[in-house]
Structure 1
């Protein structure tokens, strides 16, 4: 039986009785319970709610079902550690970014395995290699910078640029004023630039 379905079966069997009183809690309430008391039901309930969405996103990026399944299990397997480290205000948007980052990491590792470094050096001109490396470094630095933004700025930036949502759509989704969205994106862009410039080697 496929791993994804085994995990789902495990969740349903193990928590069929005990998780009923927790299933009505919101995502943030579950996360708060976990941070306060290492609540046993938090991760399985979040998996029940979002496992299929994470798997779907992984399939979109990775194309292969087996890779998507493995990455989904990895994400939920490490979710407790990430929850402890981050102040999360909008779990679904935050989980989407975590999923996207894991997919990109997987693709980069896969590319490295499939194309040994000595082949890259032989096939590419020196200038092309330097430009490619510079782009990779900037992308990595940008991903790091985004994680240092205030939560509201980070979420608005991700929704606007990564999910191609309009100001109004973000305002409606987060239930915040339109001007707050515009301000968060402008301030987020400025803070990204400041952070990246301050971390230039």
Structure 2
């Protein structure tokens, strides 16, 4: 039996947070698996998808806020730090928090894929594991490359990820279950892909 060695961390979480606080606004830094991930600024279609989602969420659930670029501490994921594209939480939930908040109380995290080489690893594999281990009830992945919307339901804190994964094509109705309880008509998302 081959034992897989744990990856060596590039730096401590504290060192990462110092670097991240000085990063320009044109990049987003995350710390996962002991290494820094760098993402460039999102394109206009990416931002439009997030604005569309924010409007739908606020109409259906005015008691919630959709935070964009909210840093989360996902400790179970090797002392990780993630900045989802959006985090849905009760109104004013993150008031008074610093740049990196505890994920407790977050109802849903959202990622909209970008057209970069790390999207597959980051958004489709590492982040569902991290968000599931952190106990966030829902992970919504709007995948512009595959033209799908995937809802991850039922976080598994022990092994990470989610117990149920439901994927729909752009154009289909997508139901976000409890704690959201809203339906999304994804037809418009066809306009925001390359």
TM-score band, normalised by the shorter chain? under 0.3
Question: Which structure has more helix as a fraction of its residues?
Answer: 1
**TM-score of the two chains, using structure 1 as the length reference:** 0.26
